[in-house]
Structure 1
Amino acid sequence: MILGLSGELVSVVLFLVGVAIVVVSVEAFIEAVAEGALALGVSGFFLTVVLAGTDLENVVLGIVAAADDLPDLALGTVFGEALFILGAAVGIAGVLVPFETTVPRNYLGLMTLAPFLFFGLALDGTLSRFDGVVLTATFVPYLVIVYLLERSSETQYLSAEDVEIRERERERGERERGERGVEEEDEWFEFDMDLDVDDFVEERVPERYEGPAFVGIAVVAAVGMTVGSELAVSGAEDLLALLGVTGLAFGATVMSFIASLEELFLTVEPVRRGRPEIGVGNVVGSMLFFVSANVGLIAMVRPLDTTGTVLTVHWPFFFLALGVVTVAFLRGKVGRPTGVVLLGAYVAYWGGNFLL
């Protein structure tokens, strides 16, 4: 016992605190890198393309879990967060605010075909370090393709302008709710852990030092990600023994769910505010990242076992959810029936993890 707390409670606290530190640190890191790069003269447009699809919370947690000899837990986070975005985030958007959007077929083709390289490399039962190098390397061509498509596309899913609009609308909504002193019922799904590091630096740091200041914040945030990940994985390791579940199941459900809550905001809120292309861009970019650099970096740290429930549970549910979302985007409409199907698939995915 520590400070009068039972070992079980300590494990839960370590896990939750660790995940929270990772999420906050990642938010600060992304904002600091983006603002710092702009201050140093790097293209804001391309920077947004690079950052919008990546999910550093997931990959940091996954790498630390793999390094701590919990590769199944790491692999679970890849499938779990992908299913969370496809099933829960898009599903909730469809149920709460059915929307229509015209998605370029090039994006849909890229999102649908990209997972098959991961799937093909995993069929022999092991995702080796070499496989990880291959998958990680493919993320750069994906970014190049998206960049080239963005230059010729009428709908710029990953443009800096759209992200800036989303942030302005979010901040305006927060100010309005603060003035009223109440929170509107339809805002329940907003989950914001943004530290507004840009406001802090712009108010307190001379302009000529803004670039280095943002870089410094990014370094501190990177340290926070490492510390938080170690705490989260340490707590998760103890919880696995207490709950009697596999690392793959825990990573795919509990860990991914907690680490992915902000994806609800990134997907649902733009849809609710009439900017569905931003939410769709988050889905497309995230899927490309999960099946390439995310799982690739984890495999480079520790080879991954892709037999058993990976084939019987995770891949089937992933392809099911991806297929439903792709068809809905192809039709240009995500309605309540589609949302219900996706949410049902996500609930069934949790059941499959704990029952099979």
Structure 2
Amino acid sequence: MYAIGGLYFLQMGAEWLVEGASAIAYRLGMPEVVVGATIVSLGTTAPECAVSVLAAFNGNAGLALGNAVGSVIADTALIFGLGCLLVRLPADKYILSRQGWVQYGSAVLLAGICYFQFSRQGAEASIERYYGVILLALLAAYMVISVRWSRRHPNETTARVSENIAEHVEPGEKVHVADEHVTKKGPLALWGMMIAGLVVVIFSGHVAIEAASELAVRIGIPQVVIAATLVALGTSLPELVVGFTAIRRGHPELLVGNVIGADILNILFVTGAASSAAALPIIDSAAKVPEIFLYLHLPAMLLILTYFRICIFKATRVGHFDRWMGGPLVLMYVVYVVSQFVVSM
């Protein structure tokens, strides 16, 4: 009953969030993909941040790091992959050539820190607090630069962006700039709608996360696997629901921006905040394969994001992601999840 109620309110909150965000983008003349990569993704990654910071304080390194990296994998491979299979997603060259590289660079930076620390400290390797401070400083710089990039965007209004997207959608697909009844609301009402949607999404998703985690613990699944699959998927539930609600309401650029922004924030915000709270050991001594984070999680994240970079390169040349691009992403996610359970059992 709790799970059903949580899913109902999660969908309702996503509706408010998408409507409010798209209308704000329209009023401010900002591309929806930018709003998705900053404001929306900051809200939808709040569950990951809360879970990871609490895990760091409690000394659960596998949960903190596995949740952040697992969420990046779930957002990119599962959520974007499924969205890409459903509709032809728009590719804004100006945004993807900037935020897209920040997304990839953040992942490479985190992997570099982990492998560097492991080469120096071996089984005692950890992400020290000063690394967390550096990641949070990069987060602040990213948010400031994102606002500047949005102001320099060649399209003056979201309407022009959507008109450009409409040239690439398939017959029968609908593209809306913003719902007319929503854009008639005042600025305070729109911000209130979006914030209320975020709050409902976060708290509703928490119900599903707790239920799944408790069930996995009782079954006896290793903590690092729980973090990178069930908890990561659960904390990515807001991105999943918001993304598919955005597609259904004719705002696919919100899904693209939210996935890219959420990936960046999972590394800079979630990992940065968690490692600032407490040093995060990289090796999970309680796991059957203690180095599973280094041997499976990080390589899977880098492989998926490298493929995504190739898709971005091809998509920005024609203005949209082809549907077939989502297939390999979903397949890689399935292989990743299965591999974890095989290795950990």
Report the TM-score when normalising by structure 1. 0.66
Q: Does 1:338 align with 2:325?
A: yes
Cα separation, 2, equivalents of 1:241 and 1:274: 39
Please give the alpha-carbon distance, in whole angstroms, between the structure 2 residues aligned to 1:18 and 1:275. 26
Aligned to 2:131: 131
1:146 aligns with 2:146: yes
1:67-118 alpha-carbon deviations (Å, 9 max, x no partner) = 3332312222212221111111111122121334232222322222122222
User: Could you say which residue in structure 2 is the equivalent of 1:302?
Assistant: 278
Correspondent of 1:352 among 324, 339, 343: 339
Within 5 Å, which residues of 2 pair with 1:274-285? 275-285=251-261
Query: How many angstroms apart in 2 are the aligned matches of 1:279 and 1:89?
Result: 9
Distance 1:155 1:127, change over 3 A: farther
Which piece of structure 1 moves more, 59-68 or 134-143? 59-68
Deviation at 1:131, TM superposition (A): 1.4
Percent of residue pairs bearing the same amino acid type: 21
State the 1:133 CA deviation: 1.5
Alpha-carbon contact 1:75-1:304 (below 8 Å) kept = yes
Task: Measure, in 2, the Cα distance between the counterparts of 1:256 and 1:155.
Answer: 35
* Letter aligned with residue 231 of structure 2: M
The aligned counterpart of 2:300 is 317
Number of equivalenced pairs: 303
The corresponding residue for 1:243 is: 219
Task: Report what 1:66 is aligned to.
Answer: 56
Residue correspondence of structure 1 range 246-285 to structure 2 within 5 A: 246-271=222-247, 275-285=251-261
Segments of structure 1 that go 5 or more residues without pairing to the other structure are: 1-12, 176-195, 197-201
Answer with 345-354 or 51-60: which moved more: 51-60
Cα distance, 1:234 vs structure 2: 7.1
Q: Distance in 2 between matches of 1:262 and 1:241?
A: 23
> Is 1:120–2:108 an aligned residue pair?
no
2:84 and 2:323 in contact (8 A); partners too = yes
Residues 104-150 of structure 1, C-alpha deviation per residue, up to 9 Å, x if partnerless?
Answer: 22232222212222222222131122211211121010112211111
User: Could you report, residue by residue, the CA deviation over 1:175-221 in whole angstroms, capped at 9, with x for unpaired residues?
Assistant: 9xxxxxxxxxxxxxxxxxxxx9xxxxx9xxxx9xx89xx7xxx89x9
Is this contact kept in 1: 2:29–2:156, CA < 8 A? no
Q: How far 1:249 sits from its partner (Å)? A: 0.8
Measure, in 1, the Cα distance between the counterparts of 2:262 and 2:212: 24
**Worse-superposed segment, 19-28 or 336-345:** 19-28
CA distance 1:26–1:311, change in 2 (3 Å)? farther
Q: 1:264 Cα deviation (Å)?
A: 2.7
8 Å CA contact 2:85–2:324 kept in 1: the answer is yes
Query: For residues 226 and 52 of structure 1, do their structure 2 counterparts lie closer, same or farther at Cα, with a shift above 3 Å needed?
Result: closer
> Who is 2:83 aligned against?
93
CA contact under 8 A between 1:88 and 1:342: conserved in structure 2?
Answer: yes
Separation (CA, whole Å) in 2 of partners of 1:131 and 1:311: 18
CA distance in 2, matches of 1:331, 1:236: 37
Conserved in 1, the CA contact under 8 Å of 2:242 and 2:255?
yes
- Which residue does the alignment assign to 1:187? none
CA deviation after TM superposition for structure 1 residue 277, in Å: 2.9
1:78 aligns with 2:68: yes
Describe the superposition over 1:269-298 as per-residue Cα deviations: whole angstroms up to 9, x where unpaired.
Answer: 445665443222112211211110111111
Match of 2:101 among 109, 119, 132: 109
**What whole-Å deviation, never above 9, does each CA across 1:10-66 have from its counterpart, x for those lacking one?**
xxx99x5998799699979989x99xxx9xxxx997x95752232312111222233
**Distance (Å, rounded) in 1 between the aligned partners of 2:139 and 2:229:** 25
Determine if the alignment matches structure 1 residue 290 to structure 2 residue 273. no
- Residue 155 to residue 122, structure 1, CA distance change in 2 (3 Å): farther
Alignment TM-score, normalising by the size of structure 2:
0.68
Question: Structure 2: 5+ residue runs without aligned partners?
Answer: 118-124, 163-173, 284-290
User: CA contact under 8 A between 2:7 and 2:204: conserved in structure 1?
Assistant: no
Contact 2:77-2:330 at 8 Å conserved across structures: yes
CA distance in 2, matches of 1:50, 1:152: 16
Alpha-carbon distance between aligned partners in 2 of 1:22 and 1:59, rounded to the nearest angstrom: 21
SS at match of 1:98: coil
RMSD: 4.7
Give yes or no for the alignment of 1:51 onto 2:27.
no
8 Å Cα contact 1:249-1:353 kept in structure 2: yes
